[in-house]
A and B are shown apart, each in its own frame.
Chain A
Amino acid sequence: MLVTSARPYLVERNLPHFWCPGCGNGIILSAVARAFARLGWERTRTVVVTGIGCFGRADDYLNVNAVHGTHGRALAIATGIKAANPGLHVVALMGDGDCATIGGNHFLHACRRNLTITAVVANNLNYGMTGGQYSATTPAGSTTSTSPLGHAESGLDLCRVAAAAGAMYVARTTVYHVHLLDRYLEAALTHPGFSLVEVMSSCPVYFGRYNRLGGPVEMMERWRKVAVPLEKYGELPEPEREGRVAVGVFADHRGEPFEERYRRVQEAARGARAGEVSER
């Protein structure tokens, strides 16, 4: 039933998708399409913006308005769209390389600026499309094609950064926890202000292979094992957090989004202009 209703939001002629067997992107893509269907979003008023990378190809399969932009810049493009036409639903689909790494600066400012845009980030912990290089979310010690002897940098916790930078709704789940994913997506897509759903995803071809995490099935099971509810994660002693991923809602605030604040600026400008005219 749900699959059928998501169909109008998919470009069926472009399916099957080009992602590798065992990749988590298809799960996230279908969850996004389902969310659009459940919310009944008009296709004419929905815009998806992607950057570059594996998940940056998600727009090829979505039958809504779409911009496939430049690497890391999806949120900056989305900002222009939403600011120019606040009546649109604007969703940015990015990977960790796109959002957290190349686009890190835009991500911070999108959280802070607080336009009503939803960022959906497929975090597979590496640059999958270009051969498994490390990204900003690659955990320390991991093997990647550019850190064959172990990664010397620490991974970025995108959700904590987003919450600290002022995002209104922030949640993380994994491709294993599809029901949570559906729920978080719906909450994010209907939340005023900037929202983020980070989805931990599997890349069996690069990150999984380099780090001996097994095939698609083992990687999927691993998400079930390492995911710890946020509250529980907080209670864990530091050494036990190693290798685990906190899932849950990191921020859920109600606040005035940019569009509303800016409308007042525009009204003030009109008032000032009217005053100027009447003084003459």
Chain B
Amino acid sequence: MGGVYLQMEDEIASMAALVGASLAGARSFTATSGPGFSLMQENLGLAIALEVPCVVVNIQRSGPSTGLATRPAQADLMQARWGTHGDHPAVALAPATVQDCYDLAVRAFDLADLLRQPVILLGDEVIAHARERVVVPESPEEDRGAGGRREPACPPEEYRPFAAGPDGVAPLAWFGSRYVFHVSSSMHDETGFPNARPDNAARVIARLHEKVARHAAELELYRIYQGEGARYLVVAYGASARAAQAAVAEARAAGIPAGLFVPLAVWPFPAGALRQVAAEAERVLVAEMSYGQLALEVERILHREVVGIHRYDGEMLTPEEVLKGLERGASRCW
């Protein structure tokens, strides 16, 4: 493929090199798990500020700190949203199958280019190590929706790297092209040079959020199982969605009207779709390998209390645990 692989000295450097490689015109990605993801937060912020497309794969594992080394967890959900400092948008996709890992990885690169924004592929230890059948399209290029970053077409002297189009995204040149350009981690204006005026800062921060909001349709990724007549709705992502899916199937077989909502984009969360399917539900359950992060977001979206099914001992959530919750409701853990 003619690519370059670099193992940097630490994950701070990996994320920094990723930003550099993308500015030099390469589609770039890195992969890590919890401790490395913590180190990447600094330069994830850099990628967001510079509006540099790149993909970060974070396979969630137990924490805090070293935790239960490499045991499964889903406790980086909020870090993926809020890990780096300052107001910023976040885009994170969460595979629940090995096929998702392939499909969402392709989608992640396309979304990164579309939005000029780092995209996080938020997997977990179970899905990352799973072996399942994967169907790879015969011609992967044709299968792709967007494809490639938007490059400028204006004369070089007119190029302003942060002059956004109506969707809030500016075309991005690359170092070595005919465009000479400047990007800065400091608050900057359309030229890319620092601008500390309050009105400019407000405009930039708002645009960063709005460019993601304006592409809500491309980002609303989810799956619903047994949504029809679901009076008990389980919300789960990643490996927990698999346990929940098995539990819902068993519950339905036992006559319990259960359903499942699986967000494939966790940031921004597909709130509209969740509200719709939850409207008829008598009870909403959230199943996750965390003390309670997804539950917070679901409660925020639905404005109602949910029943949490949480596991945070380094073991995978089982269908039995979800089923138990469906049968008699689980107690809240906090």
A84 touches B9 (CB 8 A): no
A124 to chain B, nearest CB (A): 21
Could you say which interface size class chain A belongs to? 35 or more
CA of A88 to CA of B24 in the docked complex: distance in angstroms?
A: 9
Contacts of A79 in B (CB 8 A): 6, 8, 13, 16-17, 20
**Chain B 20-63 per-residue mask, 1 if CB under 8 angstroms from chain A, else 0:** 11111110100000000000001101100010000000000000
Contacts of B148 in A (CB 8 A): none
A260 to chain B, nearest CB (A): 13
A88 touches B19 (CB 8 A): no
A85 touches B42 (CB 8 A): no
Partner of A85, one of B175, B180, B185: B175
Does B79 count as interface, using CB distance less than 8 angstroms? no
Partner of A70, one of B10, B42, B174, B193: B42
Partner of B16, one of A43, A77, A266: A77
Does A67 count as interface, using CB distance less than 8 angstroms? yes
A44 touches B180 (CB 8 A): yes
Which residues of chain A (66-123) have a CB below 8 Å from chain B?
66-70, 73, 76-85, 87-88, 105-106, 108-109
B194 touches A60 (CB 8 A): yes
Q: Which residue of A lies closest to B9 (CB)?
A: A109
Contacts of A47 in B (CB 8 A): 24, 175
A84 touches B193 (CB 8 A): no
Contacts of B185 in A (CB 8 A): 52, 68-70
A65 touches B180 (CB 8 A): yes
Q: How many residues of B contact A (CB 8 A)?
A: 41
B4 touches A84 (CB 8 A): yes
A69 touches B46 (CB 8 A): yes
B28 touches A84 (CB 8 A): yes
Does A64 count as interface, using CB distance less than 8 angstroms? yes
Does B289 count as interface, using CB distance less than 8 angstroms? no
Does A198 count as interface, using CB distance less than 8 angstroms? no
Contacts of B177 in A (CB 8 A): 44
B20 touches A43 (CB 8 A): no
Q: Which residue of A lies closest to B18 (CB)?
A: A80
A105 touches B2 (CB 8 A): no
Partner of A87, one of B12, B26, B176, B182: B176
CA of A47 to CA of B22 in the docked complex: distance in angstroms?
A: 13
A70 touches B16 (CB 8 A): yes
Contacts of A44 in B (CB 8 A): 176-180
Does B331 count as interface, using CB distance less than 8 angstroms? no
Does A4 count as interface, using CB distance less than 8 angstroms? no
Contacts of A11 in B (CB 8 A): 193
A117 to chain B, nearest CB (A): 10
Does A45 count as interface, using CB distance less than 8 angstroms? yes
A81 touches B20 (CB 8 A): yes
A144 to chain B, nearest CB (A): 25
16 other contacts beyond A63-B180, A68-B183, A69-B185, with CB at 8 A cut-off?
A: A44-B179, A66-B182, A68-B186, A70-B16, A70-B43, A70-B45, A73-B13, A73-B43, A76-B13, A76-B17, A77-B20, A83-B4, A83-B17, A84-B20, A84-B21, A109-B8
Interchain residue pairs with CB less than 8 A apart (28): A44-B180, A60-B194, A65-B175, A65-B182, A68-B184, A68-B186, A69-B16, A69-B46, A70-B16, A73-B16, A73-B43, A76-B16, A79-B16, A79-B17, A80-B6, A80-B18, A80-B19, A82-B24, A83-B4, A83-B6, A84-B4, A84-B21, A85-B24, A85-B25, A85-B26, A108-B9, A262-B4, A266-B4
